[in-house]
Amino acid sequence: MKKHTIYLAGPISGCSYDGCTSWREAFKTHMPDSVQCLSPMRGKDYLDQEQVIDGSYPNHVLSCSRGIMTRDYFDCTRADIVVVNLLGAPRVSIGTVMEIAWAYTRHTPTIVMMEKEANVHEHPMIAEAIGFRVETMEQAAHVAKVILFDPAELRDFNAYQARSEQIHA
């Protein structure tokens, strides 16, 4: 299988470290090993004691304003797909909105997990910029696999996953 890259976007500021990382780790389990999932939280274990992540941290090169902007832009614009988690967002995530816009300008497919209605990110421009809107992580993973892999590769992965689940049951 060809190596593919997915950027995992979603709110960080105002969230707990676990809230920022747990869904990203869970999403990775739905992808084959040939998919590299890039998290904006990688290398930021020093924030794991934060109850609420507070935007930027000027004393950390990866978490200062310039560090966040530089790496997130690089990761987002080199990804084959951007998967966005806006489920339950308590407030608008400006950084995530920027990442959706970066993907849109590069014609990179976006798969956005978002409630059917009443999400704080409901806006005509967001609605038009996203490629696929789904309500669950499983749906997002399915769409990502269908986009990234040809049917034979997908059948091989699904067969492998089914065998693996039988072994571990």
Question: pLDDT, tens digit, for every residue of 152-161?
Answer: 777 776 665 6
What pTM does this model have?
0.90
Q: How far apart are CA 6 and CA 8, in angstroms?
A: 6
* CATH T-level fold of 4-168: Rossmann fold (3.40.50)
Give the residues across from 97 on adjacent strands.
none
Helix (H) or strand (E) holding 98: helix 94-105
Whole-Å CA distances, 164 to 19, 136, 141, 159, 161:
28, 23, 18, 9, 5
The string of pLDDT tens digits covering residues 55-112 is 889 999 999 999 999 999 999 999 999 999 999 999 999 999 999 999 999 999 999 9
Sign of CA dihedral 11, 103, 35, 31: positive
Amino acid at 74: F
Confidence band for 30, pLDDT divided at 50, 70 and 90:
very high
